[in-house]
């Protein structure tokens, strides 16, 4: 279902440039921008965290910016936290990511909605993906996954008492429902929603995967996160925390209290357009080359300067 993004020097038309390059002070970027994934709770049958909103230039126009603006500032959204295992708990919402903050039209994406614990449905996201519902006590009825926005999908539901949590929504599909409530031993957490596969860095990478829902109790089964980058939902007690993959905007897994994965910004443009002086800060952000293209990656909040 997700589009396999094809970025690179062979896609000069996608950049709106000719084979001869472009003036050094006007750059047209292809991009991937992801907000932070949401966290989940720990304990009996929590839902998985929803993925943060993900936008990329295969579904939106490329971005043209003039270096005369000065340094470009980028804020990378943090992954949502684990609030601890207690009634009515909901995993922390993913942080917002803002790109090109120095320009007149900054781009801001909103993080995912947290996975619910017992007594709590999944939290919604107005732009990204909703969290999976936690299991509910006897007589409370089914739990509902949080709704998703235009750059995400809803979280999965939980059937009710002794059931497992729903998976968190992902960029390309909704979180699956938890299974139950025949008995704690047969309940199973819902799989997290799939993210989108893109190759802007030169290799295929998943962005915006939902976290897997947690099981009600051992020996019942947890679930996998969406497409490999969402946190894995685990039985309770869980052996370890299972966070969403950092810098993918993916949700954390339920049952282990997984934190969400942080967001990211990746920019790609023809190296012929690269200004003579270009630098990123701090040092954990990078400028690399792939064929005839330059790739700028913001793993943490920082700045892109041209002096």
* The predicted structure's pLDDT at residue 14: 34
Q: How far is 204 from 4, CA to CA, in rounded Å? A: 8
Q: Which of 34, 79, 38, 37 is nearest to 54 (CA)?
A: 34
Distance CA 289, CA 299 (A): 17
Residue 151: domain span: 1-307
Question: What whole-number distance in Å separates Cα of residue 263 and Cα of residue 298?
Answer: 9
User: What is the sign, positive or negative, of the torsion defined by CA atoms of 80, 83, 86, 90?
Assistant: negative
Token digits for 51? 């993925």
Using CA of residue 225, residue 226, residue 227, residue 229, what is the dihedral sign?
A: negative
Mean pLDDT of 89-95: 93
Predicted local distance difference test score (pLDDT) of residue 268: 95
* Tens-digit pLDDT profile for residues 196-212: 999 999 999 999 999 99
* Pairing mode of beta strands 26-34, 264-270: antiparallel
Mean pLDDT of the chain: 83
Average pLDDT of span 85-113 = 87
Q: Is the pLDDT score of 166 beyond 50?
A: yes
**At residue 248, does pLDDT exceed 60?**
yes
168 contacts 112 by C-beta, under 8 angstroms: yes
216-235 residue pLDDT tens? 765 555 677 777 788 888 87
What is the rounded (10 degree) CA torsion for 77, 83, 88, 93?
0
User: What is the distance between the alpha carbons of residues 127 and 129, in angstroms, rounded to a whole number?
Assistant: 7
Q: Which of 206, 52, 242 is nearest to 131 (CA)?
A: 52
As a whole number, mean pLDDT of residues 101-112 equals 84
Higher pLDDT, 227 or 174: 174
Q: Which residues contact 232 (CB under 8 A, 6 or more apart)?
A: 211, 212, 222, 223, 224, 225, 242, 253, 256, 258
The count of domains in the chain is 1
| Per-residue pLDDT, 5 | 45
**Separation of alpha carbons 232 and 214, rounded Å:** 8
């Amino acid at each position: 279902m997700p589009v396999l993004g094809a970025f690179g020097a062979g896609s000069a038309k996608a950049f709106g440039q000719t084979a001869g390059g472009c003036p050094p002070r006007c750059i047209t970027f292809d991009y991937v921008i992801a907000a932070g994934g949401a966290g989940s709770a720990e304990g009996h049958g929590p839902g998985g965290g929803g993925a943060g909103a993900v936008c990329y230039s295969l579904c939106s126009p490329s971005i043209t910016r003039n270096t005369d603006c000065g340094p470009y500032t980028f804020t990378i959204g943090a992954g949502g936290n684990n609030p601890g295992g207690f009634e009515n708990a909901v995993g922390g919402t993913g942080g917002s990511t803002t790109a090109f903050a120095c320009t007149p039209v900054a781009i801001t994406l909103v993080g995912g909605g947290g996975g619910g614990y017992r007594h709590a449905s999944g939290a919604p996201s107005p732009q990204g993906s909703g969290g999976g519902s936690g299991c509910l006590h006897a007589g409370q009825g089914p739990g509902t996954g949080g709704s998703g926005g235009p750059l995400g999908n809803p979280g999965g539901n939980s059937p009710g008492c002794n059931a497992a949590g729903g998976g968190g929504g992902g960029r390309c599909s909704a979180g699956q429902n938890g299974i139950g409530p025949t008995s704690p031993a047969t309940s199973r957490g819902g799989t997290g929603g799939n993210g989108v596969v893109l190759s802007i860095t030169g290799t295929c990478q998943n962005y915006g995967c939902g976290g897997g829902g947690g099981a009600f109790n051992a020996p019942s089964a947890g679930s996998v996160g969406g497409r490999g980058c969402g946190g894995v939902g685990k039985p309770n007690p869980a052996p370890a925390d299972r966070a969403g993959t950092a810098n993918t905007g993916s949700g954390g897994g339920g049952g282990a209290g997984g934190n969400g994965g942080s967001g990211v910004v990746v920019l790609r443009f023809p190296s012929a357009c690269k200004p003579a002086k270009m630098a990123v800060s701090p040092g954990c952000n990078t400028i690399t080359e792939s064929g005839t293209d330059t790739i700028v990656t913001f793993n943490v909040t920082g700045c892109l300067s041209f002096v």
